[in-house]
């Protein structure tokens, strides 16, 4: 631990100490929700509700889904009718292959959440590692990595994911981890940039030098500095990336490079199958998986933008509050240039009441 | 001065991207010929094909060939159907160009005015609903949006055709000159074919355009909010300039500068979206060719198409920077 | 006595925030006669700039303006935004602190003049506009050859002169100069001051000169108003105020300036007060070396002392001060220590 007197200790958060790690973490999570307001709060809360609903669906998929994702016949062994309209036993209808659409949408949530979590973990890990490496070592390592990352960033995200998925499928086959790794390739450059920038500025911070002189280990200081600086921007980036990752996953599935239909239910794949159905007027095979994607992506985007709005002071909307001014008790002319004016009657009491009634907001 | 540096930077940038494409395509196991045709030809035939394509030579030589080939605009010959890769661009490039340009136009027409409205009336109900619109266009995958539009306008209302570049008879009737269907129809003097092609273009272009319009809306909104707060806007107000003129002449114009800068980044998004849109609407462009060759595991074709897309993206960002220098006097020299 | 160009009465500008209203300007009155320059001084954050903006009706959203700004028989506080907009430029001018960002980077200097003149004098021909623009630029020392240049081609000092030219091309009768020289170096500062001096001699322009530089006030202003925490605590002729400051704050402010005779730096202990919850009574009392028991109790009345007007209980009126009100104020060691 760095000495408590370094300026860095202030970065630990505005929370009173000694509340326990869990309590502090909880308060940290709750903070954006408490300090947000207006549109920002609406976005944050709506987004969180949507995301939580989707995650719950993913977790409890086995309980919620009436059938398996690849199940084409009931418990009685009788095959489901294909192209059944929504209603009855099949809430969202059935597909050309005889799958139950509702079950596939529910299981699809599980696939989406799993893949995105894996992808985020991978890209965070690789991005942070490479970013630290580039930032610390500098020189040619930094230059080469920056060039590679910039080049990757320039390629269309979907194209990059397709190529990686395509190549990996030769080695690993088309499972959830392949899809996750393909998506990882897309988001590594972003984390790399953030972490590298923070590392470089951490190195340049003069007070890092100062603290080093006071006896704290440079590594400790760097880690603390990086944690406090990077961790602030990670929730926003991660949430927005998660939204984008869902779309990339669906895009991969739609083109047939994602998860194979026998391994898990995947919304993008279902939509690919549904394109052929539209000509026949079958709308339910495409509508429901599509809506699931929209809801999850929208939830994550709203959450990310809401977080951004409350945590990023630069774009934070200055809250406009109505001002009520107490009337002045009387108006007489103020002293003019020659100072010939008379004093105004201006009771101290007339000016005060507003002050006591001023709201105490978050005086943090 | 700025432009010279920018153009000089272009060369290493392209080199890095091409190297990455090359390396990516070579980490796959096996040689491209065996992957694509293994089991379909005899070992002797395969060896012959390998030698013909140069895959028996050292990787560094292949790398050199790849780069020099690009300079000669030669990206090799596809393995599965022995077609020069550049011919794919010639035949199918027109369709993708038509789609992306039309989508870009749609995105500008929708995103720009809506973004200006949202920024001008920020924090009002109008702004909030426009932001929701922006998030919705982003959250809906292009293929889902395309599917909904197909259901509504092609299947439901029957106003527009749902897929392909034109009706089959019309497609067969118009001779291919430029491989840009609308242009070919005009050259042939076939106005009926032209309208037919335009009708087919509407749904794909709107689908892809809506995706981009949400992005445009956000960028324009943020930039306008920033310029409306700028010092020169306050100074213009202090000179008693009419509010409308302050907003249009000072805030809008200046908000356009960063918007144009960011346009370069959107080319990648546009091309990525085009792959999905082409697949949804059975649009025979570069994207659908990419998918076709990926399915047949033809590395040469895939490498060629990715190289082209990468080159287009990098060149587009160079062009955008040049345009930007023309708009903004500060970077003009 | 000449009639005032501008007469401000009980002007208040408050901003709404989550903590409550910020009283940036809280009951300010002053007058300006043609050709007169009033220096407005005070620490950063005392409401000087807000006052200057408020007079011209150029306040950010969410600000509330109250009181009276009398100009040509009209009250600008209650006038419609359109009326005030038409006055800004030909009647009321504003010169800003930071000239670098005040010109639209995409417009030529000539386009700035064309826009301004077309708005307020629609009858002018293109040649007349160019003539007027070039003339006023020449007066500011900008050669006519630079008329069509872009803002980024000028230095900071030149841009400030262009900004002044833009304000003066319409010959306003009242100009607010909001720290026009703070961002510039000393030589340019002297140029700008002399330009502003010419202006009021030649055109009878009244000037509200906002600055924290007392040297400039002594040099360029006729009268001075000292602002503290949203109030003008003392105003009067510059020579009188500087020679015989009547308010303890004015005294402290003058002591903290550097002159050749200065041996050590003097500063006023404590920070400027919180404008959301300003101190009770006289707002300066927590930092005042001469505070009395009455000071935190009651708001001081404006009192005329010689040619000056002062808001300080030291000068009475005696009738309002309670029996033991003049005893020195006993303070517990207050927040000042924590802040430091």
To test the contact with chain B by mutation, choose from C63, C79, C89, C115 the residue with the greatest count of B C-beta atoms within 10 A, namely C115
SS (H, E, C) chain C: CCCCCEEEEEEEEEEEECCEEEEEEEEEEEEECCCCEEEEECCCCCCHHHHHHHHCCCCCCCEEEEEEEEECCEECCCCCHHHHHHHECCCEEEECCCHHHCCCCCCCHHHHHHHHHHHHCCCCCHHHHHHHHHHHHHHCCCCHHHCCCCHHHCCHHHHHHHHHHHHHCCCCCEEEEECCCCCCCHHHHHHHHHHHHHHHHHHCCEEEEECCCHHHHHHHCCEEEEEECCEEEEEEEHHHHHHCCCCHHHHHHHHCCCCCCCCCCCCCCCCCCCCCCCCCCCCCHHHCCCCECCCCCCCCCEEEECCEEEECHHHCCHHHCCCCCCCECCCCCCCHHHHC
CB of C38 closer than 8 Å to CB of C225:
yes
Q: Report strand pairing: C223-228 vs C206-210.
A: unpaired
Alpha carbon distance C95, C80 (integer Å): 23
- Looking at residue A332, its pLDDT comes to 36
Domain range enclosing A183:
31-75+83-311
Cβ <8 Å between B138 and A301: yes
Token couple for C22? 């910020």
C317 upstream amide cis, omega within 30 of 0? yes
* Residues of chain A contacting residue C69, judged by C-beta atoms under 8 Å apart: none
pLDDT at B192 over 90: no
Cβ <8 Å between A358 and C21: yes
**pLDDT-above-70 percentage for chain B:** 95
- Looking at residue C250, its pLDDT comes to 87
Domain range enclosing B196:
92-298+319-332
* Residues of chain C contacting residue B248, judged by C-beta atoms under 8 Å apart: none
Alpha carbon distance C16, C14 (integer Å): 7
CB of B316 closer than 8 Å to CB of B264:
yes
Cβ <8 Å between B235 and C152: no
* Residues of chain C contacting residue A358, judged by C-beta atoms under 8 Å apart: 19-21, 276-277
Contacts of B193 (CB under 8 A, 6+ apart): B166, B170, B173, B174, B185
- Looking at residue A74, its pLDDT comes to 67
pLDDT at A278 over 60: yes
What is the pLDDT averaged over residues A128-145? 85
What is the pLDDT averaged over residues B94-103? 91
- Give counts: helices (H), strands (E), chain B: 15, 0
Of the pLDDT bands very low, low, confident and very high (cuts 50, 70, 90), residue A14 is: very low
Closest C-alpha among C286, C314, C287 to residue C300: C314
> What's the CATH number where A104 sits?
1.10.3720.10
CA distance B22 to chain A (A): 12
Residues for chain A: how many in total? 364
**pLDDT-above-90 percentage for chain C:** 1
Chain B: list its partners (3+ Cβ pairs within 8 Å). Answer: A, C
Alpha carbon distance B69, B55 (integer Å): 15
CA distance B242 to chain C (A): 7
C-beta pairs of C332-339 under 8 Å, 24+ apart in sequence? C334/C286, C335/C270, C335/C286, C336/C269, C336/C270, C336/C271, C336/C286, C336/C287, C339/C270, C339/C271
Token couple for B66? 């790849």
Alpha carbon distance B258, B331 (integer Å): 12
Query: How many A-B residue pairs are in contact by the CB < 8 A criterion?
Result: 148
Alpha carbon distance B218, B221 (integer Å): 5
Give per-residue pLDDT as tens, C85-116.
888 888 888 888 877 888 888 888 899 998 88
Kindly state whether B284 is in contact with chain A, defined as any CB-CB distance less than 8 angstroms. no
Closest C-alpha among A83, A112, A85 to residue A95: A83
> How many domains is chain B partitioned into structurally?
1
Q: What does R_g of chain B's alpha carbons equal in angstroms? A: 24
Kindly state whether B329 is in contact with chain C, defined as any CB-CB distance less than 8 angstroms. yes
Would B30 be classed as within a structural domain?
no
pLDDT at B209 over 90: yes
Token couple for C153? 């081609």
CB atoms within 10 A of CB C62: 15
- Looking at residue C266, its pLDDT comes to 66
Alpha carbon distance A92, A296 (integer Å): 18
Query: How many A-C residue pairs are in contact by the CB < 8 A criterion?
Result: 102
Residue-range domains of chain C with CATH: 6-228 (3.40.50.300), 246-339 (no CATH)
Of the pLDDT bands very low, low, confident and very high (cuts 50, 70, 90), residue A151 is: confident
To test the contact with chain B by mutation, choose from C99, C105, C120, C162 the residue with the greatest count of B C-beta atoms within 10 A, namely C105
* Residues of chain C contacting residue A325, judged by C-beta atoms under 8 Å apart: 12, 14, 21, 64, 66
CA distance A335 to chain C (A): 7
* Residues of chain B contacting residue A154, judged by C-beta atoms under 8 Å apart: 13, 17, 268, 310, 313-314, 317
Would B111 be classed as within a structural domain?
yes
Minimal-distance CA residue of chain A relative to C1: A338
Cβ <8 Å between B329 and C102: no
Alpha carbon distance A211, A214 (integer Å): 5
CB of C54 closer than 8 Å to CB of C60:
no
Token couple for A43? 């976005």
Alpha carbon distance B304, B77 (integer Å): 9
Token couple for C173? 């009768």
Using CA atoms, how far residue C221 sits from A323, C35, C44, C254, in Å, is: 35, 11, 20, 16
Give per-residue pLDDT as tens, B61-88.
888 888 888 888 888 888 778 888 888 8
CA distance A63 to chain B (A): 27
Give the N- to C-terminal CA distance of chain A in Å, as an integer: 25
pLDDT at A318 over 70: no
Go through C26-37 and write b for each residue having 16 or more CB atoms within 10 A of its CB, e for each that does not: bbbbbbbbbbbb
Give per-residue pLDDT as tens, C244-295.
888 888 888 888 765 555 555 666 777 777 778 778 888 888 888 888 888 8
Would A114 be classed as within a structural domain?
yes
Give per-residue pLDDT as tens, A36-67.
666 677 888 888 899 999 898 888 878 777 77
Closest C-alpha among B316, C93, C130, B105 to residue A155: B316
Using CA atoms, how far residue A288 sits from A48, A90, B321, in Å, is: 21, 13, 42
Cβ <8 Å between B136 and A166: no
Task: Select the residue of B13, B280, B306 nearest A159 (Cβ to Cβ).
Answer: B306
CA distance A37 to chain C (A): 11
CB of B251 closer than 8 Å to CB of B170:
no
Minimal-distance CA residue of chain B relative to A251: B276
Give the N- to C-terminal CA distance of chain B in Å, as an integer: 5
Would B104 be classed as within a structural domain?
yes
Q: What does R_g of chain A's alpha carbons equal in angstroms? A: 28
Cβ <8 Å between B239 and C167: yes
Contacts of A13 (CB under 8 A, 6+ apart): A24, A28
Give per-residue pLDDT as tens, B116-173.
999 888 878 888 889 889 889 988 899 899 888 888 887 777 787 777 777 777 777 7
Alpha carbon distance B285, B165 (integer Å): 10
pLDDT at C164 over 70: yes
CA A284 centroid distance within chain: 30
CB atoms within 10 A of CB C135: 13
- Looking at residue C336, its pLDDT comes to 46
Q: Phi-psi bin for C270: left (phi > 0), alpha (psi -120 to 50), beta?
A: left
DSSP single-letter state for residue A248: H
CB atoms within 10 A of CB C123: 7
Alpha carbon distance A41, A291 (integer Å): 24
What is the full DSSP assignment across B265-291? HHHHHHHHHHHHHHHHTT--SHHHHHH
* Residues of chain C contacting residue B230, judged by C-beta atoms under 8 Å apart: 101
Cβ <8 Å between A278 and B154: yes
What is the pLDDT averaged over residues C114-133? 88
CB of B226 closer than 8 Å to CB of B233:
no
Question: Percent helix, strand, coil in chain A (nearest 5)?
Answer: 65, 0, 35
Token couple for B127? 């702004």
pLDDT at A215 over 70: no
CA distance A34 to chain C (A): 14
What is the pLDDT averaged over residues C305-322? 80
Cβ <8 Å between C101 and B232: yes
To test the contact with chain A by mutation, choose from B141, B263, B298 the residue with the greatest count of A C-beta atoms within 10 A, namely B141
Cβ <8 Å between C21 and A318: no
Q: Which of A166-175, B76-85, C265-274, C327-336 tops mean pLDDT? A: B76-85
Q: What does R_g of chain C's alpha carbons equal in angstroms? A: 21
* Residues of chain B contacting residue C115, judged by C-beta atoms under 8 Å apart: 236, 239, 241, 245, 249
Give φ, ψ of B75 to 5 degrees: -110, 25
CA distance B116 to chain C (A): 18
CA C115 centroid distance within chain: 27
Token couple for C97? 């602190």
Alpha carbon distance C248, C258 (integer Å): 18
Kindly state whether A34 is in contact with chain C, defined as any CB-CB distance less than 8 angstroms. no
Give per-residue pLDDT as tens, B278-303.
988 888 889 999 988 888 888 888 88
Would B259 be classed as within a structural domain?
yes
Would B87 be classed as within a structural domain?
no
Alpha carbon distance C199, C205 (integer Å): 7
**pLDDT-above-70 percentage for chain C:** 93
Contacts of B125 (CB under 8 A, 6+ apart): none
* Residues of chain C contacting residue B241, judged by C-beta atoms under 8 Å apart: 89, 115-116, 119
Give per-residue pLDDT as tens, B28-70.
666 677 767 766 777 777 777 777 777 777 888 888 888 888 8
Token couple for C23? 């009283």
Would B121 be classed as within a structural domain?
yes
- Residues 32-51, chain B, touching A (beta carbon < 8 A): 35
- pTM (two decimals): 0.80
Would B168 be classed as within a structural domain?
yes
Cβ <8 Å between C62 and A336: no
Chain A: list its partners (3+ Cβ pairs within 8 Å). Answer: B, C
CA C195 centroid distance within chain: 18
- Residue ranges in A87-204 assigned as alpha helix (H): 101-137, 139-154, 157-171, 176-204
Would B145 be classed as within a structural domain?
yes
Of the pLDDT bands very low, low, confident and very high (cuts 50, 70, 90), residue A139 is: confident
Minimal-distance CA residue of chain A relative to C295: A348
Would A105 be classed as within a structural domain?
yes
- Looking at residue A311, its pLDDT comes to 72
> How many domains is chain A partitioned into structurally?
1
* Residues of chain A contacting residue C298, judged by C-beta atoms under 8 Å apart: 348
Give per-residue pLDDT as tens, C8-65.
888 888 887 777 788 888 888 888 888 889 989 888 778 888 888 888 888 877 788 8
* Residues of chain B contacting residue A47, judged by C-beta atoms under 8 Å apart: none
Interface of C with B (CB under 8 A): 56, 58, 81, 85-90, 93-94, 96, 98, 101-107, 115-116, 119-120, 150, 152, 163, 166-167, 170
> What's the CATH number where B102 sits?
1.10.3720.10
CA A263 centroid distance within chain: 27
Task: Select the residue of C10, C17, C317 nearest A321 (Cβ to Cβ).
Answer: C17
- Looking at residue B314, its pLDDT comes to 86
């Amino acid at each position: 631990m760095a000495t408590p007197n370094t300026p860095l200790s202030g970065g630990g958060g505005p929370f009173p100490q000694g509340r326990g790690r869990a309590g502090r973490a909880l308060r940290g999570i709750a903070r954006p929700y408490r300090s947000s307001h207006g549109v920002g709060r609406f976005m944050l809360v709506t987004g969180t509700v949507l995301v939580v609903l989707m995650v719950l669906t993913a977790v409890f998929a086995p309980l919620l889904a009436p059938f398996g994702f690849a199940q084409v016949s009931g418990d009685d062994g009788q095959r489901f009718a294909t192209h059944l309209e929504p209603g009855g036993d099949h809430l969202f209808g059935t597909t050309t292959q005889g799958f139950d659409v509702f079950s596939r949408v529910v299981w699809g949530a599980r696939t989406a959440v799993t893949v995105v979590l894996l992808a985020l973990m991978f890209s965070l890990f690789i991005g942070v590692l490479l970013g630290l490496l580039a930032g610390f070592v500098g020189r040619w390592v930094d230059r080469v990595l920056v060039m590679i990352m910039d080049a990757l960033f320039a390629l269309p995200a979907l194209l990059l994911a397709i190529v990686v998925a395509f190549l990996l499928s030769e080695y690993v086959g088309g499972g959830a981890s392949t899809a996750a790794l393909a998506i990882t390739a897309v988001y590594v450059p972003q984390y790399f940039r953030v972490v590298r920038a923070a590392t470089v500025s951490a190195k340049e911070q003069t007070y890092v030098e100062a603290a080093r002189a006071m006896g704290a280990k440079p590594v400790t200081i760097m880690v603390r500095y990086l944690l406090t600086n990077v961790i602030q921007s990670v929730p926003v980036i991660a949430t927005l990336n998660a939204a984008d990752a869902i779309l990339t996953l669906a895009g991969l599935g739609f083109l047939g490079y994602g998860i194979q239909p026998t391994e898990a239910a995947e919304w993008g794949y279902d939509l690919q199958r549904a394109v052929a159905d539209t000509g026949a007027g079958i709308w339910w095979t495409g509508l429901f998986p599509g809506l699931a994607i929209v809801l999850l992506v929208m939830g994550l985007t709203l959450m990310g933008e809401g977080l951004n709005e409350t945590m990023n002071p630069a774009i934070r909307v200055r809250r406009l509050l109505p001002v009520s001014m107490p009337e002045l008790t009387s108006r007489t002319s103020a002293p003019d240039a020659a100072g010939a004016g008379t004093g105004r009657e201006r009771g101290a009491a007339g000016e005060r009441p507003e002050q006591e009634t001023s709201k105490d907001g978050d005086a943090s | 001065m700025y432009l010279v540096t920018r153009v000089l930077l272009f060369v290493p940038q392209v080199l890095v991207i091409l190297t990455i494409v090359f390396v990516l395509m070579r980490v796959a196991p096996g040689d491209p010929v065996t992957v694509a045709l293994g089991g379909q030809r005899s070992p002797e035939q395969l060896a012959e094909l390998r030698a013909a394509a140069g895959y028996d030579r050292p990787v560094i030589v292949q790398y050199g060939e790849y780069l020099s080939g690009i300079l000669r605009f030669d990206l090799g010959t596809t393995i599965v159907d022995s077609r020069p890769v550049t011919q794919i661009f010639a035949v199918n490039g027109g369709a993708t160009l038509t789609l992306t340009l039309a989508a870009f136009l749609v995105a500008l027409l929708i995103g720009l005015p809506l973004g200006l409205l949202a920024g001008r009336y920020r924090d009002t109900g109008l702004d909030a609903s426009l932001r929701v619109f922006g998030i919705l266009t982003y959250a809906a995958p292009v293929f889902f949006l395309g599917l909904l539009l197909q259901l509504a306008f092609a299947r439901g209302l029957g106003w527009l055709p749902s897929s392909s570049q034109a009706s089959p008879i019309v497609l067969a009737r118009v001779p291919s000159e430029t491989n840009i269907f609308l242009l070919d129809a005009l050259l042939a003097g076939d106005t009926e074919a032209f309208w037919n092609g335009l009708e087919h273009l509407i749904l794909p272009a709107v689908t892809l355009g809506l995706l981009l319009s949400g992005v445009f809306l956000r960028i324009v909104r943020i930039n306008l909010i920033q310029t409306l707060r700028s010092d020169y806007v306050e100074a213009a107000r202090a000179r008693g300039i009419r509010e409308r003129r302050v907003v249009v002449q000072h805030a809008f114009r200046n908000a356009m500068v960063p918007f144009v800068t960011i346009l370069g980044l959107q080319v990648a998004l546009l091309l990525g979206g085009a792959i999905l849109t082409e697949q949804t609407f059975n649009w025979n462009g570069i994207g659908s060719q990419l998918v076709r060759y990926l399915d047949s595991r033809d590395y040469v074709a895939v490498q060629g198409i990715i190289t082209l897309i990468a080159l287009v993206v990098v060149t587009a960002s160079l062009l955008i920077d040049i345009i930007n220098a023309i708009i903004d006097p500060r970077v003009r020299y | 006595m000449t009639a005032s160009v501008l007469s401000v009465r009980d002007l208040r500008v408050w901003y709404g925030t989550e903590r409550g209203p910020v009283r940036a300007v809280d009951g300010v009155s002053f007058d300006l006669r043609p050709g007169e320059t009033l220096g407005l001084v005070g620490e950063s954050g005392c409401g000087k700039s807000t006052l200057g903006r408020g007079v011209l009706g150029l306040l950010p959203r969410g600000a509330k303006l109250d009181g009276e700004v009398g100009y040509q028989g009209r009250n600008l506080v209650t006038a419609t935004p359109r009326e005030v907009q038409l006055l800004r430029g030909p009647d009321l001018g504003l010169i800003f602190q930071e000239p670098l960002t005040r010109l639209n980077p995409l417009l030529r200097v000539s386009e700035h003049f064309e826009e301004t003149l077309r708005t307020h004098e629609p009858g002018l021909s293109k040649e007349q506009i160019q003539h007027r623009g070039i003339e006023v630029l020449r007066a500011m020392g900008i050669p006519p050859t630079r008329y069509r240049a872009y803002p980024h081609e000028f230095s900071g000092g030149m841009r400030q002169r262009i900004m002044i030219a833009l304000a003066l091309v319409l010959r306003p009768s009242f100009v607010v100069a909001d720290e026009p020289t703070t961002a510039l170096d000393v030589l340019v500062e002297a140029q700008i001051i002399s330009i502003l001096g010419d202006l009021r001699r030649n055109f009878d322009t009244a000037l509200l000169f906002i600055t924290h530089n007392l040297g400039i006030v002594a040099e360029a202003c006729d009268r001075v108003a000292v602002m503290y925490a949203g109030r003008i605590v003392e105003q009067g002729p510059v020579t009188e105020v500087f020679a015989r400051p009547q308010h303890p704050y004015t005294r402290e402010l003058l002591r903290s300036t550097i002159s050749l005779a200065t041996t050590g730096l003097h500063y006023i202990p404590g920070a400027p007060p919180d404008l959301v919850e300003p101190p009770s009574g006289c707002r300066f009392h927590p930092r005042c070396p001469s505070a009395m028991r009455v000071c935190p109790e009651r708001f001081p009345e404006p009192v005329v002392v010689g040619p000056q007007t002062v808001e300080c209980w030291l000068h009475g009126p005696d009738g309002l001060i309670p029996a033991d009100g003049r005893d020195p104020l006993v303070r517990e060691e207050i927040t000042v220590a924590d802040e430091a």
